[in-house]
Structure 1
Amino acid sequence: MNIPFSPPFIDQAVINEVLDSLYANWITSGPKVKMLEAEVVKLTGSAAAVCVNSWTSGAMLMLKWFGVKEGDEVIVPAYSYCATALCVLHCGATPIMVDVLEDCTLDPVEVRAKITSKTKAIIAVDIAGLPCKYDQLKTIVREPQIMDLFEAESSRQTTLGRILLIADAAHSIGSYYDGLSAALQADVTIFSFHAVKNITTAEGGCICLNLPASFDNIEEFNFLKLFSLNGQNKDAFAKSKGANWKYDILLKGYKVNMPDVCAAIGLAQIRKYTSTLLPLRKDISEKYCEGFKGQHWFIAPVTKDDHRETSYHLFPLRIKGITEAQRDQIIEDLVGKGIVVNVHFIPMPMLSYFKSIGYEIRHYPNSYKLYACEISLPIYPQLTDLEIRFIIDSVIEAVQVNISYEYEKNV
């Protein structure tokens, strides 16, 4: 077989929506972006949504919006994709990495221990689509002693009066927390619409605002629309309408807007997300769990607990007791059978750049342990039952071949 890891979901509705954008002779930011923003608000219940050209751009925009600068600190998990820390570095601030829990989400105890007077934000990463323990994180940032430690150095920091909680929800659109959209848990939630995500715009992202009552979310939405388009008070679509060419630059903004031709892809997908695409992902996850449940080495991913349900973005298979080298060989065996898999993620302290600026993986033992035995299996709506069965059988065979007799005796 030939089973790719995560192809985009492109059906006739997606093609029609893109063609509609092309035939309209308008492909940059315009009506389809506005429609996609409205659909995100509808899906999440957020106060407002701002589409941008990537998760990374959205995160940088919000850190800058909050006034994060050189000398500041932002707490991030060591177990995440590099963008979680790079957005902090691009603002001149320092990422303070902490270890994660067994479910791969940010460890609240570690977070609290790392907060200083320099801490301006926490970026909590919903790995594989599972929301972080937001109740605990929200309690921490609101503790009187933690709030007393907070030093406001911008007008928005003064308005908030505490550490900003950002959800890195690159994986978790459609996840739930206490029966509601998980996007409502943080002050700011940022989705990725990259090509491999549950909803894609080829490249793109979306900022969801759920700021407290001290802010006017719509006013901040209007500011962010300016901020994401060079600080320009009219986008190209508005300027194209008759004698409307005059514009002004109101602030030193960035150029990170999403084009309509990209929004069209996501628009078609999000309209059938909760009814069709997300249930199909959940069904595949359940079939994997059922297929592996009799294997003594299988560590099932947390997909649902008393508070949280994942978006089923990844199926992070973990194999009990194996080494990193064994995991790599299992991957090679699966690729040899035509199954493309992945690993999420190489902890940032193991990457050359982060090692060069002083991060060491020995300080994040749980991140390494989780990484060393993890294989992300294909999970997307187009997978057939035959392909799922082939993947399950192939994984079982590859694990059996690569686990030693000594390991079998000691499990």
Structure 2
Amino acid sequence: MSDRLARLTAFADDIGRPVRICLVGAGQMGSGLAAQLGRMPGLELAAVVDINADRAAAALGLAGRDSVHVGAAGAPAALAAGRPVALDDPKAVAELDIDVVVEATGVPLVGAAVAHNSLLAGQDVVMLNVETDVTVGVYLDDLARSAGQVYTIADGDEPVCGKELVDLAHEMAFDVVCAGKGKNNPFRPSAVAGELQDEADRKHMNPKMLASFVDGSKTMIEMAALSNATGLPVDTVGMHGVTSEVDGLASTLIPAADGGVLSEAGRVDYAFGPAPGVFVVVTHQDETVRQEMSYLGMGAGPYFTLYRPFHLASLEAPRTIITTVLDRRPVLRPAGWHAEVVATAKHDIPAGTTLQGIGGDHVRGVTYRADQATEFLPLGLAENGVVQTDIGAGDPLPRSAVDVPASVISTLRSLQEMRA
């Protein structure tokens, strides 16, 4: 047993019970996490919330839980008696005696409400929902800090893995030239869920989630989160997205003055080729150190690539719960607002259209520098918005052209912008 697991077990012994986890969203990511939690000493999957209560109960079964109580009525008493709870309404989460809420729906409207209510209820929040974070993460982080709670993105997602490499580079006194991820699926900006149903079924995925990968939105969201966490801006609208294997990154994602594509060093970007890992291109001011890097097989220099060839998504998320409980700190938080993901038309959108959200038929995400995106609609606010004027294919949606209905996420976004 690792030292951290031993500490976690001791912590559970001290409080007289396992740390209680509530999972919101029992899709592919949530199910993988549920199976992991059933095998983690000191942690207990106590509740699962999903739009389908049967799927919530099935996720509890993956964690080895039985005698499941279904429904919000009587749920607090069932939990107190040691029974796991399956719910179909996320509003009930804040009423439960839960230590950590893991949000895994990928839906900004849901994620914002769950995170906000949970933090106010004294529950820590671990986000597998980066879509929410790039929309209202600064507000949620501020709220958590003021309430003495933890708000964090989960280990295993590219933003956290990328941030770890950035931190490693800085701790070795390297200059970070570019941090990013490899994109490992086709890029079809106009892709919609309906045309991906068969592939989604084979992969046991929600077709809208798969569409968000294929249309590029997920990559844009993840790199915006990395930008906000590190302070490294994107270099251009939508980033460069070069095609390169790992060995070529150190000659491609570098400043144009040295033969690369970047306007200058210190940027976030992505590449087709080095997938599914994350990378950081670095250099060092000292010639002796550069020579040592070459000796160690890291290339000819002066630029070098640090590469992590995997990220294990929800399977790594329990590590974040351990850090949250034992160390009371986030593993990744938006340290500032450096990048925005803008809703961009997949095709011509006529006035009067009610927009579908991420992975839907109407819009995809494109990453901008935050200061260049103030007049455009954030992707996380697009769902259910009503378009007031015709929008051309490929155009960013102006905020003034969309009537965004009142919701928790639109309110939190307004509060976040008021504090900026």
Q: Same fold (TM over 0.5)?
A: no
Query: The TM-score by the shorter chain falls in which range?
Result: under 0.3
TM-score by length of 2: 0.24
- The alignment's TM-score, normalised by the length of structure 1, stands at 0.25
Greater relative contact order structure (CA < 8 Å, 6+ sep): 1
Q: Which of the two has greater strand per residue? A: 2
